[in-house]
Structures are given as C-alpha cells and as structure tokens.
Amino acid sequence: MTMAKASVRDADIAGKRVLLRVDYNVPIEDGKVKDDSRIRASIPTIRYLLEHNASIVLMSHLGRPNGKVVESARLRPVAERLSRLMGRSVPVTGDALGIGTNDAIGRLKPGQMLLLENLRFHAAEEANDPSFAQALAAYGEVYVDDAFGAAHRAHASTVGVAALLPAYAGLLMEREIRSLSKLLESPAHPFAAVIGGAKVSGKIAVIENLMSTVDTFCIGGGMANTFLVASGYTVGKSLLEKDRVDDARRILQSAKEHGTDLLLPTDVVVAKEVTRGAEHKTVNVNKIPNSWSVVDLGPQTRVAYEAALESARTVFWNGPLGVFEVPTFGDGTRAMARHLARRAGAGATVVVGGGDSVAAVEELGLTQAFSHISTGGGASLEFLEGQELPGIAVLQDRPAPVRTRKQPSRAAGKRAAAAP
C-alpha cells in the first residue's frame, strides 16, 4: 500500500524555517472555536519543531470562502485558541501573501512561530497555481505536512509547495498513515468494520476494498436503508438512494462470496418527522410504516451488533448509526461509541474515522479510549478505498527496509485467521 514516508524526525530542521501545513478547518461559532481537536492534534509536531530550534510558519485553510476574503473565515479565533494551548502568543498575518507577511516572516527567530491567514482567500490555493506555491515555498527551507484531513486535495499548500522544498510528514500525518495502512495490510483478526452515515454512495468503494480483509460488517445510518431495500424491504419515507440499490445488492452478493458477515438492522427506530420532539417508536424492519422515517438502530440490532463485535481484535468505525444531530435519535451511535471504547480497553485495536462518529466520541469524553481517531473524514475514506492521496504521494519516501521473509497475502491472512 502506501510506502513509509520520511517524517519530520528524519529532517534537518535545527535553526531552519519550517513551513508547516496544518488542518485548522474547525467549527467557529460567535468568533470562538467550538471544537479544538484538530488544533490539539497538531501540537506534538509544533512542539517537536520548537524543541529542535526551528521557526515555524503555520498555514491552513478554513471553510469555503471561494477565493474571496470572508471575515467569518479569518483564522484569528484559531490563533487565539492555539496561543492558549501552547502558552505563548501565535500571531496571525493579515494575508497569506504580501509585504507585511514577508516582513513578519523575515523577523521570525528560532523557537518562534506565526500563522498565515486563510489560504483559501486566494483562488490560487485550490487551483494549485504554481506561482502561488512558489510564493508560499519562499517562506520556508523545509516543508512539513501534518494536514491529513487535506491530503486528498491537490492544492498549492499540500502538493505544489511539497514539490519545491524537502517535504516530510508531520507526527500526526505519520500516525494517520501508519494506523490506516495497518487496517489495509495487517489487521489482527477477527476484523470488523462498523459503517454508517447518511449515504451509501460515499462508502461503496471502501466496503468493496475492505471486503477481502474484513470478517464482519455492521451497517447502520441512512445508508442501511438502501441495503434494506436491496434485501426486499420497504423503508417508508426514509432517506434512500434508489440509484444505489443495485450497488448494495452487488455488495451483499460479494459478502456471501467472500464468506464475510454483513449485518443489517433487524429493528429500527422510526419517526413521523426527523425533528427534535417528533413522535417515534421501535418496529421490526418488515413493519416500517409508509409515512414514517428510519432514524436510528433498534435495541435488538444494537445487542446483535455488540455481540458481533465482542470477539473482534480490530475494528474500524466510520459514520453515525442514526440521525445523530437530533439527540433522541443518537442512542445507537452513542451506545456504539461506549461499546467500542470498552473493546479498546480490553485490548482491541479500534480506529474511528468520520466527522459525526468522532463527534460522538468527543461528546462522551471517550477520545483517549481509542487506538486512533482519524482527523480526516474524506481523506480517511479515500485512503481506505486504496486510493493514492496526492498530499501523501508528494512527500519524500523513507528507504524501504530489506525484507527477509515473504509476507502472506491479505486473503491468505484472512483464511489463516479464520482457521480453527
């Protein structure tokens, strides 16, 4: 899969100015950072660089300002939160480019850092414009990418700059690559995947790529409706991708051929309206009322999924199992978060990826319980689809170690793990 990338630990950074790409695309409400988990995730790399006498030019995007200056997308609240977390002032420039920015960077001394204003205020960032990349590259002597959440984007700050400077993975990027690669290459079996979220269309390639490795899939969320219809059920007014029913049918058949258990809900919570306070009840999947919508897993399904995961030594979880943003319909998602935290506590490797499943873990204060929580929603999925992410591909490779033993294939590993 992904070749090991040279990390910041391999770089000569003492006394150098390091251009550090981070992912500070965080939710901001009333001028304050609502969730600082991505900021906190970047701190080990920042501390490493400062301890090794580097100066740091941080760069990130925030939101989708589409190449224009949008006041609500300025990075000042992020700089304020980072300053508090680091216990030192982190100034933010007025613009990513310009004379004032050049002057501020020129005055940086080893052990100091600053944050460039939102890169996406310039349309040239998302266009991977060569001149914009060159202007950014001039700010540093070494490039370090710690923005796994943006690694699937071929932008100036993730790909263009990396082609112009010695380019290394940050400590977070390194951990993401290592954790996700292990799921694809050498997971401990039994290996289970809990896949949820609204739509099956974004998860088809992941399920298909993991089919030869995963022993058990547990399917939930809105995407489960498409699988239920593919299995002959009706789902009332529920979210349904009619154009993906054939894909779901193909995946169900593929699971049979691979000897993979693919579990679907047997009972569900349905609601008259998908809103807070709406009338709701639990029904079997063969009795979903025509004018109601599926909003969560039912209690029987939760018990069955937890039983199926009890023996798993590796679990990957992506996506909520109900309409998590409505608290009443988030019981299945929260129960799964607690169960997987217990499995991790019992020694299983549990990797969580995807915005809302991560939000559930954060809400319950279980962040530290898991083996790895990915900071990249779309990037995690594309990685697990087997795609080469442009922001990773452009980083320097670490020389491959000489192999002394032939490694068994994935399929062979799965067969061996399943043997009595």
Q: Give the residue numbers marked as catalytic.
A: 38, 199, 355, 378
| Degrees to nearest 5, angle at CA 168 with 36 and 173 | 35
Q: Is 15 left (phi over 0), alpha (psi -120 to 50) or beta?
A: left
Q: How far apart are CA 205 and CA 380, in angstroms?
A: 12
Distances (CA, A) of 160 to 5, 101, 156, 167, 331: 17, 20, 4, 11, 44
Q: How far apart are CA 334 and CA 378, in angstroms?
A: 22
Rg (CA), the chain: 23
**Number of helical (H) and strand (E) elements in the chain, helices listed first:** 15, 16
- Residues 305, 218: contact at Cβ < 8 Å? yes
Tokens linked to 294: 């599926």
- Residues 99, 76: contact at Cβ < 8 Å? no
- Buried/exposed code over 115-134 (b: 16+ C-beta within 10 A; e: otherwise): bbbbbbbbebbbebbeebbe
